[in-house]
Amino acid sequence: MSFEWDEESKAGANFRKHGVRMPEAIPVFDDPRAMTITDEESDPNEQRFVALGMGATGRLLVVVYTLARHEHSDCFGAARRGPRVRGVRVRTMKDRYDFSKGQRGRVRPPEPEPEGKTRITIRLDRDIVDRFLQIAEESGGVTGYQTLINMALREYLDGKAPKLEDTLRRIIREELKPSAA
């Protein structure tokens, strides 16, 4: 299952208005306790859904989404569509949604763990998570924030990340050069 969003308009507007980056909202679709309702006010040609669930950073989020009409029926989002549909998508969210008749459970079926992957719980500093979420959002959904964290850890463990001692030596040499001249 893939997720798409229009990075320039939708993602930026969501972050400015709600303080939520798109990659932070994706885990709502995997939340087994999520509640989902149909948005009764959506365009009949493009039905919208509203899900209430836990985001990547542990915040309770309300996510309004559509099922994309691509060759793949399991895409969520509005990227690469015509202007009429984008007009529907930019309607403001309602102040309140009634989830009393909502359906509980994951929006998408659970996927098996990929070969060689292990699911863990880890606590990271908020600024670190925000940075990875921002980079993931800038990729337009191409690279997920967890993949980016995994890549950074791999670089560090493989010795590709700059070592503190090497960085300090380089800085000291750069600073001493003007003094020697």
pLDDT digits (tens, 9 = 90+) for 64-83: 888 765 544 444 444 333 33
Give the DSSP letter of residue 19: S
Going by C-alpha positions, the residue among 12, 3, 141 that lies closest to residue 70 is 3
- Residues in the chain predicted with pLDDT less than 50, given as ranges, are 71-90
Q: What is the chain's Cα-based Rg?
A: 21
Going by C-alpha positions, the residue among 27, 62, 68, 16 that lies closest to residue 46 is 68
| Confidence at residue 152, expressed as pLDDT on a 0 to 100 scale | 92
| Confidence at residue 82, expressed as pLDDT on a 0 to 100 scale | 36
Strands 60-66 and 75-76: unpaired
Burial of 99 (0-12, 13-18, 19+ CB in 10 A): middle
Give dist(CA 82, CA 133) in Å, integer: 27
Please say whether the beta carbons of 76 and 87 come within 8 A.
Answer: no
Backbone angles phi, psi at 175, to 5 degrees: -75, -35
| Confidence at residue 83, expressed as pLDDT on a 0 to 100 scale | 33
Domains of the chain by residue range: 2-115
